[in-house]
Amino acid sequence: MKRTGAQIFFECLKRENVEVIFGFPGGAVIDLYHEMPKHDIRHILVRHEQGAAHMADGYARATGKVGVCLVTSGPGATNTVTGIATAYMDSVPMVVFTGQVPTALIGNDAFQEVDIVGITRPCTKHNYLVKDVRDLARVIREAFYLARTGRPGPVLVDLPKDVIQASTDFRYPKRVQLPGYRPTVEPHAGQINRAWDLLRKAKRPVIYAGGGVISSSAHRELTRLAEALQAPVTTTLMGLGGFPAVVRNDKGQRELHPLWLGMLGMHGTFRANMAVQNCDVLFAVGARFDDRVTGKISGFAPKAKIIHIDVDPTSISKNVVVDIPIVGDCKAALRKLNDIAKQEPLENVDDLRAPWLEQIHQWRETYPLAYKKEGNGIKPQYVVEKIFELADEETIITTEVGQNQMWAAQYYHFAKPRTLLTSGGLGTMGYGLPAAIGAQAAFPDRLVIDVAGDGSIQMNIQELITAVCNELPVKVAILNNRYLGMVRQWQELFYDKNFCATCLDASPDFVRLAEAYGAVGLRAKSMEEVEPVLREALSVQKPVLMDFWVSPEEGVYPMVPAGKNISEMLLV
């Protein structure tokens, strides 16, 4: 039986177990929308296609599954580009379907035509223009396969209108045949042995874990190895949740894991940065030595031999030349190391590690993560601390980008993977709200909170109505300082206090804005009001926008000025 391209499209999505599509219709994809009601698939209508891409991204990060969005040609497609680049930088599995003008018109500057495959070539893992309906099923199969395997990433499939309308026999390929794509999963045994040898002899080891630990679900293996070695752990922004920052004690209270160093890098903790700068073995797992992590690259971890596991060979020795490269899946590699650790456990590991852990403890005592509690207005850090207190391990935090993001990373302690969704690599303002909506769509019963700034939130505020009409009760905590705070902080510290274009003195009334959208708006102007506002927000089964008037000039500390060694921190 012949089937149309549109029918094949939905049949393929069913085979890929797609539950939800984030999308926005238009002329080029109207045939797909015409077909959609006949299929058992949830569609969430966004208000801007960038929102669709971030929602698919948030859904993917929260679940580990492939996020899907569907948009029309031309502006519909270009509006997704920031979302695609965001997912690409953070290795998020996503398939973006874009409509395209009919094949006969391609290249003619037709209405709503854009070369989206050309535009997204540098920010997708791979992309396709389907020119023949007979290729459609194969391409969709490949797109999902590429998105979720190896180093995950976004894949774009461009669908010309006539291809969707054309008919052919449907056959879903059983196997993917991509001769040029063979990601290495199993690590080289010899390299694993070399790594173990180094780890075994290390006196001052540090584990530096990144988003790869979360992508490969290697958090348990990482924790087990860290505990076996009694090696302290720091993570990148993307790696937060990959190691339990907090654990429950006998009384059920959460306390910091004794091996937890906090995040490292530009806004890392004092102890994390000092530990990296003084370690003798640095074990990098699924991290990519980003400049926000390393600071001055030649001065990074100067005393350390470096082991690096990464599934993507291009990440290895790209920025920092490593001593023991291991190409492979983090989980597979950590399992191998755990197997060895079980067979040949370190003798007297507690005694062996005591001086190093004592040193780290001293760093933590000398310069703990801190902020000045006095001063006018609400302290933004306090808001994040209160959110942490009221949340539990299952709560999903999303962030916008800037100070709000860094305070969330510093003052919220993530116990589980996939509970922090944040734009790390690209640093996309406007990410948090749609990502929260995507996560809430996946987990309707979990608490999802977007820690936002008054600048960032306005970049995709239109998606509030998407949350309202789809009954996705996300909570948004705006740390409202009436500034583009992170840029303002740089201007204060490095640009002669020339606060050009960073003051947002004209902002909307967020409470009334929330109400206009049919959400709940709440405001706190003093420290005393913070907790009641949060409690009220959490008790409402509706989207809530909370407007916290925080002290405008608060900065994010510690801070390593760009280009400095990460031990050269500006402290509170």
Partner 1 sequence: MTMDKKNGLRHTIGVLVENQPGVLSRVAGLFSGRGFNIESLTVAVTNEPGLSRITLVTSGDQHILEQIIKQLNKLINVIKVIDFRDTEFVEREMALIKVRAEQATRAEVLRIVDIFRAKVVDVSPHFFTIEVTGDDGKINAILELLGQIGIVEVARTGKAALARAKKR
Nearest to 270 by CA among 498, 572, 544: 572
The H or E element that residue 147 is part of is: helix 136-148
Amino acid letter, 252: G
Residue 404 and residue 494 in contact, taking contact as beta carbons nearer than 8 Å: no
342 catalytically annotated = no
**Interface residues toward partner 1, by CB under 8 A:** 117-118, 121-122, 125-126, 129, 146, 178-181, 312-314, 317-318, 321
Cα dihedral 102, 108, 113, 114 sign: positive
- Helices 432-442 and 49-63 meet at what angle, rounded to 10? 50
Amino acid letter, 561: P
Q: Which is nearer to partner 1, 117 or 349 (CB)?
A: 117
Q: Least distance (Å) from partner 1 to the CB of residue 313?
A: 5
Q: Least distance (Å) from partner 1 to the CB of residue 106?
A: 11
DSSP structural state of residue 494: H
Q: Least distance (Å) from partner 1 to the CB of residue 84?
A: 15
Amino acid letter, 51: G
Q: Least distance (Å) from partner 1 to the CB of residue 285?
A: 19
Catalytic residue among 94, 263, 486, 546: 486
For 536-567, the DSSP string reads HHHH-SS-EEEEEEB-TT---SSB--TTSBTT
Q: Which is nearer to partner 1, 315 or 410 (CB)?
A: 315
Query: 268-272 — which CB contacts under 8 Å span 24+ positions?
Result: 268/234, 268/293, 268/558, 268/560, 268/566, 269/234, 269/364, 269/369, 269/410, 269/558, 270/363, 270/364, 270/366, 270/367, 270/368, 270/369, 270/558, 270/569, 270/571, 271/360, 271/363, 271/364, 271/367, 272/234
Q: Which is nearer to partner 1, 184 or 507 (CB)?
A: 184
111 catalytically annotated = yes
527 catalytically annotated = no
Q: Least distance (Å) from partner 1 to the CB of residue 314?
A: 4
Q: Which is nearer to partner 1, 82 or 124 (CB)?
A: 124
Q: Which is nearer to partner 1, 127 or 481 (CB)?
A: 127
Q: Least distance (Å) from partner 1 to the CB of residue 150?
A: 9
- Helices 81-89 and 49-63 meet at what angle, rounded to 10? 20
Q: Which is nearer to partner 1, 191 or 410 (CB)?
A: 191
Place of tokens 């949740």: 241
Place of tokens 């939130």: 457
170 catalytically annotated = no
Catalytic residue among 10, 50, 97, 161: 161
277 catalytically annotated = no
**What are the structure tokens assigned to 69, written together?**
């969005």
Catalytic residue among 11, 19, 35, 112: 112
Residues that are catalytic: 49, 111-112, 161, 486
